[in-house]
A and B are shown apart, each in its own frame.
Chain A
Amino acid sequence: MEFSELIKTATVEDVLLSRQGLPDVRGTLCITSHHLLLSSRPRGDLELWLLIRNVDAVEKRVCGSSGSITLRCKDLKVLQLEIPGTEECLNVASSIEALSSVDSVMMLYPFFHRPPSLRLRQGWHPCAPERLFQQLAAQTSRWRLSAVNRDFSACPSYPPAVIVPAAVADDTVAKAARFRQGGRFPVLSYFHAKNGTALLRSSQPLPGPKRRRCLEDEQLLGTVVAEGEDNATTPLSPCRGRPLQESFARLVEACGEPAPSVERWLGRLDSSRWLGHVKAALSTACLAAQCLDREGCSVLVHGAEGTDTTLLVTALAQLILQPACRTLEGFQALLEREWIQVRVVFVMWRRVRVPAHLGALTQPPHGQAGHPFQLRCARSAASPARGKREAPVFLLFLDCVWQLSRQFPFSLEFGEQLLLTLFDNAYASAYGTFLCNSEKERRLCRLRERTPSLWARLEQPEEKHKYLNPLYSHNPLPLWPCGQPQGIQLWHAIPVPERRAQLRPAPSLAGFFLRWIRPCRHLDEAWEEMRRLVQGDKSSLEEGEGKGRAGPSPRLGHGTHAETGTGQGPGVGLG
């Protein structure tokens, strides 16, 4: 397939672009294989540079000889294009539709994107278990790195290297693998160094109708668990994919409503149930972390189909317990380990036995490793539950991390900007990091060799500072989040000094869900006035610099701030 076949009209003149909170712009619209560009007409400024993959839904309306297209983006931005000429309008709409839903991974932008400052292969880390093991080996000798899966023979969906108890031999592991669905035998996810407890994950056991046992499996788990622990299981009901997607869609719809009454807004916020999901995820993670830290129990997390939220539970539990996960680098490693490379699902377990009824409830997992980003993040809030496979599980995780960062403003090295960037890139990216559904697919597509890594970009010094939390200081303690509903808030922005908030009239309104929406005309007016003020300041800065040559100018100090502000330009939203 050639992109040119999909692009029926490549350029249209005299297109009017409207966006929330920004003045309308008229200019020339261009469609390239991966981007939608709009350059304003008299001056040729590039006003829009949109990755077409970011488009979630296209709505077109034709009236008379012109048409309008509304683009709902995956990052919740909404754009409107007024296009003269019915045919052009329909062509543009269908081109965007086709280009935004290209099936083949290899056609996506990361395979074409070659940022000048990055080398390919840079930022693609060695396999996560190996990295984890390096740290682990320093703390305990009870675990070892096993190559039992080096040719993917024990478990096709596991990485080649896995961490298993040191006391268990490879052939025992291989036998245990046969007792588990898809061969996903119990492996170490997290070792709690404080008291030597472990968070493990696996798939469900296959006892069958005859209640078959597997001594090797029991032996494997038995080596992990200390004697005399209680036998309770905790029933958990993390939200399944589809209700979560609906919840997300409802919340976004409520956020975008122009002028609701307070009752209506709170009613819609309530009926979206999003905050309830956030609360449930946080308290479940808390529970898992408590079992490890307070009760000194090991925890096994294993799979049932569809319950993807459980993923975020294991990742959150680690964030709660382990200070190393709270640095920028540690958080990246956590994401690689828990989200990108291995897919797990969750059932609480505190000893060897898994109750039979859970076996009945569970269904076979897909044969995938890692969170199936490509399936889950194919569509965002504008297309409610179109496919069964989409679910904003990752967003829910990011929201929970944001809640943690709000409750513990010192303890995370990264700031809100990182969470927003991760969301954007999971849904539409110029980088290969979140592409594909499994390690196997990733190898087939040769992502490492052929696409740039998001991590490499984040590690560049000029990028990195944007994502750091200026308040960070190392906190060796677990972060027990507040589970009260009163303590959980819709993701809004936290003003930090560096953001020069006064140049953006309402940063605290933004956050994730409301970041493109400035619901009141007053704010737009204020924004305009601010812009004028800033420009005024800038010109007086230039004046000041002129004077600076002749003699000292007291205005220089203020001018520098103003300059950073205008440098961002009016095109920058609140986010």
Chain B
Amino acid sequence: MEFAELIKTPRADNVVLHRPFHLAVEGTLCLTGHHLIFSSRRKDNTEELWLLHSNIDSIEKRFVGSLGTIVIRCKDLRIIQLDIPGMEECLNIASSIEALSTLDSVTLMYPFFYRPMFEVLEDGWSSFLLEQEFELLSSVTNEWRLSCVNKEFSVCPSYPPLVIVPKSVDDEALRKVALFRQGGRFPVLSYYHKKNGMAMMRSSQPLTGTNGRRCKEDEKLVNATLRSGRRGFVIDTRPLTVAQQARAKGGGFEQEVHYPQWRRIHKCIERFNILQESFIKLVEACNDQSHNMDRWLSKLEASNWLTHIKELLTAACLAAQCIDREGASVLVHGSEGTDSTLQVTSLAQIILDPRCRTIRGFEALVVREWLQAGHPFQQRCAQSAYSNSKQKWEAPVFLLFLECVWQIHRQFPCSFEFNEHFLILLFEHAYASQFGTFLGNNESERAKLKLPQKTMSLWSWVNRPEELSRFQNPLYEANSLVIWPSVAPQSLQLWEGVFLRWNRTSRFLEEAEEERIHIIKYNKELQAKVNALRRQLAEMETDGEVQQDGP
């Protein structure tokens, strides 16, 4: 297929662009295979807008006489409006945008065509390898091993080729366990808590079915993480009733009789359409123009978004508490183990592990716990809050995770090396990007698409010093502690940076942020000066003493 076939009108003049909080601008609109480009020709103020077609969530067209209007709603929640003179031009452009923003084939996506204008200092595709992670682990414990049982993706299609498992369990046992867990997702190590040697594992649900099937190897595998005489906790992200119902479909949960050393705790973390609907309702509430406080608050409440945040944070705190406070190992799973499971394990690591609060550590966390762990990004992020299609597999699972990180960040503003912009960046790129990082649903698909060879990694770009500086939190001071966030509703807040980003004047807030950064830098300089002077003084004092003591 040629893109040119889809573009009937590649260019239109005298188009007027409307954006909230900006004056309307007249200019030229161009369509290319992957971008919608608007450029204004005014001499005093040239303005260009580049929009990826894949960022477009929905479009709507209206006509008044021969003047057509296209309203474009983007996946990053922005809404823009284009007034296009000429009915035919407008219809052509609208249908081209529609076609180009809903391309089926992954290989036609922009990352396969994007050629970076920057020098690649470090290939992001090989920045975060599990081997390095394992090396770090083996410096503190020898209870674990790196298994390549899934080398051909034959044991579990949604797992990476390499996984970390207890040393005492061999590959043969792993193959058997994989048959007992949905989608072959056998329990693997997610996080090792150095402080007390406790482990957090994740998996999918066991396939016990109605007749209570068991698997000795599975029991042996999970028990291998326990210290003698200690208990472990299974955190099931589904309520008990849902877990029980799952048995009818062949799923189930770990039964006490077969797992006597494990205590099961059920949580309720919503997924799929419930989450997606909540997202849609929230965004609708944020865009409400009725200027009515009651209406806003009741819509915010009705969206249930903050409830999802609270539930998720609570479950993550629970997992972290089991590990850090109770000194117990933890196994986390829901049904498939690719959504709420990953939310809980990754957030628990943010709470427990100071390394995950650095930029690089957070990138590693996203790679390890989301990309390699097989969160189906392509399915979940195919559409955002403005989509009309009610397909079952779209859900803002990753966005919810990012927002929870933001909530913790807000409560501990000095404990994170990155700033809010970094989280927003990840949200944007998960939904539409020039980089290949978030394409595909798991490592196996990525390997088949040859993404590392054919596309650029987001990390190659982000980790360049000039980009990194934009994402650094000026308040950061390494905090080696476990940080316990408050989960009370009074301390939760809507993430304005994402949800109200396009309908408020954020200029002042951004300037303020810059000014803060400036002040902090200046403070640090002064501090350095003070230290130097103190040192000098100390040296002079000792010199003076020497002289006095002397002749």
A: residues with CB less than 8 A from B are 255, 259-267, 269-270, 273, 275-276, 279, 407-410, 470-471, 482-489, 492, 495-497, 501-502, 505-509, 514, 517-520, 522-523, 525-526, 529-530, 533, 548-552, 556-557, 560
Give the residues in chain B near A266, CB-CB below 8 Å.
297, 300-301, 306, 489
Taken together as a complex, chains A and B put the C-alpha atoms of A260 and B492 apart, in Å, by: 12
**Contact between chains at A507 and B487 (CB < 8 Å):** no
Give the residues in chain B near A523, CB-CB below 8 Å.
411, 484-486
Nearest-CB residue, chain B, relative to A480: B505
Nearest-CB residue, chain B, relative to A524: B484
Taken together as a complex, chains A and B put the C-alpha atoms of A549 and B479 apart, in Å, by: 28
Nearest-CB residue, chain B, relative to A527: B484
Partner of A486, one of B504, B508, B509, B542: B504
Nearest-CB residue, chain B, relative to A409: B512
Q: Which 9 A-B pairs have the closest CB atoms?
A: A522-B484, A502-B414, A519-B488, A409-B512, A265-B489, A485-B296, A520-B486, A270-B297, A266-B301
Q: Can you list 26 residue pairs at the A/B interface with Cβ under 8 Å?
A: A255-B490, A260-B489, A261-B489, A265-B490, A269-B297, A273-B294, A275-B293, A471-B512, A485-B293, A485-B296, A485-B297, A486-B504, A495-B475, A497-B474, A497-B475, A497-B516, A502-B415, A505-B411, A506-B411, A506-B412, A509-B486, A514-B491, A518-B486, A523-B485, A549-B542, A557-B527
**Contact between chains at A487 and B527 (CB < 8 Å):** no
**Contact between chains at A497 and B523 (CB < 8 Å):** yes
**Contact between chains at B307 and A522 (CB < 8 Å):** no
**Contact between chains at B295 and A471 (CB < 8 Å):** no
**Contact between chains at A520 and B293 (CB < 8 Å):** no
Given contacts A408-B508, A523-B486, contact A275 B297 (CB under 8 A): yes
The residue in A514, A518, A552 that gathers the most chain B C-beta atoms within 10 A of its C-beta is A552
| Proximity string of chain B (500-529) to chain A, C-beta cutoff 8 Å, 1 when within and 0 when not | 100111001101100110011001000110
Partner of B504, one of A482, A519, A520: A482
**Contact between chains at A261 and B307 (CB < 8 Å):** yes
A20 to chain B, nearest CB (A): 12
Partner of A525, one of B300, B484, B490, B503: B484
Give the residues in chain B near A410, CB-CB below 8 Å.
508, 511-512, 515
| Proximity string of chain B (273-301) to chain A, C-beta cutoff 8 Å, 1 when within and 0 when not | 00000000000001011011111111011
Give the residues in chain A near B479, CB-CB below 8 Å.
502, 533
Taken together as a complex, chains A and B put the C-alpha atoms of A530 and B482 apart, in Å, by: 10
Give the residues in chain B near A279, CB-CB below 8 Å.
293
Nearest-CB residue, chain B, relative to A494: B512
**Contact between chains at B295 and A485 (CB < 8 Å):** yes
Taken together as a complex, chains A and B put the C-alpha atoms of A552 and B542 apart, in Å, by: 11
Give the residues in chain A near B489, CB-CB below 8 Å.
260-262, 264-266
B538 at the interface (CB under 8 A from A): yes
B: residues with CB less than 8 A from A are 286, 288-289, 291-298, 300-301, 304, 306-307, 309-310, 317, 410-415, 474-475, 477, 479, 481-493, 500, 503-505, 508-509, 511-512, 515-516, 519-520, 523, 527-528, 530-531, 534-535, 538-539, 541-542
**Contact between chains at A262 and B484 (CB < 8 Å):** no
Nearest-CB residue, chain B, relative to A553: B535
Given contacts A495-B413, A548-B538, contact A262 B307 (CB under 8 A): yes
Give the residues in chain A near B309, CB-CB below 8 Å.
262
Give the residues in chain A near B412, CB-CB below 8 Å.
502, 505-506
A301 to chain B, nearest CB (A): 24
Give the residues in chain B near A517, CB-CB below 8 Å.
490
Q: Given A501-B413, A548-B534, 8 more contacts at CB 8 Å?
A: A482-B505, A520-B488, A522-B485, A522-B487, A523-B411, A523-B484, A552-B538, A552-B539
Taken together as a complex, chains A and B put the C-alpha atoms of A154 and B177 apart, in Å, by: 95
Give the residues in chain A near B477, CB-CB below 8 Å.
502
**Contact between chains at A262 and B306 (CB < 8 Å):** yes
Given contacts A482-B505, A486-B286, A486-B296, contact A529 B486 (CB under 8 A): no
**Contact between chains at B490 and A514 (CB < 8 Å):** yes
Taken together as a complex, chains A and B put the C-alpha atoms of A514 and B491 apart, in Å, by: 9
**Contact between chains at A470 and B512 (CB < 8 Å):** no
Nearest-CB residue, chain A, relative to B411: A506
**Contact between chains at B292 and A485 (CB < 8 Å):** yes
Partner of B481, one of A260, A486, A529: A529
Give the residues in chain B near A408, CB-CB below 8 Å.
508
Taken together as a complex, chains A and B put the C-alpha atoms of A427 and B116 apart, in Å, by: 62
Taken together as a complex, chains A and B put the C-alpha atoms of A266 and B293 apart, in Å, by: 12
**Contact between chains at A485 and B291 (CB < 8 Å):** yes
**Contact between chains at A497 and B310 (CB < 8 Å):** no
The residue in A261, A275, A471, A522 that gathers the most chain B C-beta atoms within 10 A of its C-beta is A522
Taken together as a complex, chains A and B put the C-alpha atoms of A533 and B482 apart, in Å, by: 12
Taken together as a complex, chains A and B put the C-alpha atoms of A508 and B420 apart, in Å, by: 14
Partner of B414, one of A262, A276, A470, A501: A501
Nearest-CB residue, chain A, relative to B532: A552
Taken together as a complex, chains A and B put the C-alpha atoms of A518 and B411 apart, in Å, by: 11
Taken together as a complex, chains A and B put the C-alpha atoms of A269 and B483 apart, in Å, by: 28
B85 to chain A, nearest CB (A): 32
Give the residues in chain A near B306, CB-CB below 8 Å.
262, 266
B157 to chain A, nearest CB (A): 37
Nearest-CB residue, chain A, relative to B409: A508
Give the residues in chain B near A533, CB-CB below 8 Å.
479, 481
B22 to chain A, nearest CB (A): 16
Taken together as a complex, chains A and B put the C-alpha atoms of A564 and B395 apart, in Å, by: 46
B461 to chain A, nearest CB (A): 29
Taken together as a complex, chains A and B put the C-alpha atoms of A177 and B195 apart, in Å, by: 79
Give the residues in chain A near B291, CB-CB below 8 Å.
483-485
**Contact between chains at B483 and A507 (CB < 8 Å):** no
**Contact between chains at A407 and B294 (CB < 8 Å):** no
Give the residues in chain B near A486, CB-CB below 8 Å.
286, 288, 296, 500, 503-504
Partner of B490, one of A507, A519, A548: A519
Taken together as a complex, chains A and B put the C-alpha atoms of A502 and B410 apart, in Å, by: 11
A411 to chain B, nearest CB (A): 8
Partner of B413, one of A502, A530, A560: A502
Nearest-CB residue, chain A, relative to B500: A486
**Contact between chains at B481 and A522 (CB < 8 Å):** no
Given contacts A267-B301, A486-B504, contact A471 B292 (CB under 8 A): no
Given contacts A485-B291, A508-B411, A549-B541, contact A263 B531 (CB under 8 A): no
Taken together as a complex, chains A and B put the C-alpha atoms of A501 and B310 apart, in Å, by: 24
Nearest-CB residue, chain A, relative to B301: A266
Give the residues in chain A near B520, CB-CB below 8 Å.
497
Taken together as a complex, chains A and B put the C-alpha atoms of A391 and B512 apart, in Å, by: 34
Nearest-CB residue, chain A, relative to B297: A270
Taken together as a complex, chains A and B put the C-alpha atoms of A566 and B542 apart, in Å, by: 30
Taken together as a complex, chains A and B put the C-alpha atoms of A208 and B492 apart, in Å, by: 55
Partner of A509, one of B288, B300, B491: B491
Given contacts A410-B511, A471-B516, A508-B411, contact A487 B491 (CB under 8 A): no
Taken together as a complex, chains A and B put the C-alpha atoms of A490 and B477 apart, in Å, by: 28
The residue in B289, B294, B475, B489 that gathers the most chain A C-beta atoms within 10 A of its C-beta is B489
Taken together as a complex, chains A and B put the C-alpha atoms of A482 and B508 apart, in Å, by: 12
**Contact between chains at A276 and B293 (CB < 8 Å):** yes
Nearest-CB residue, chain B, relative to A529: B481
Nearest-CB residue, chain B, relative to A274: B293
Given contacts A485-B296, A502-B412, contact A519 B491 (CB under 8 A): yes
**Contact between chains at B512 and A551 (CB < 8 Å):** no
A511 to chain B, nearest CB (A): 10
**Contact between chains at B534 and A556 (CB < 8 Å):** yes
B112 to chain A, nearest CB (A): 39
The residue in B306, B490, B528 that gathers the most chain A C-beta atoms within 10 A of its C-beta is B490
**Contact between chains at A270 and B294 (CB < 8 Å):** yes
**Contact between chains at A519 and B413 (CB < 8 Å):** no
Give the residues in chain B near A520, CB-CB below 8 Å.
484-488, 491
B290 to chain A, nearest CB (A): 8
Give the residues in chain A near B292, CB-CB below 8 Å.
485
Give the residues in chain A near B288, CB-CB below 8 Å.
486
B299 to chain A, nearest CB (A): 10
Taken together as a complex, chains A and B put the C-alpha atoms of A555 and B289 apart, in Å, by: 54
Give the residues in chain A near B410, CB-CB below 8 Å.
508
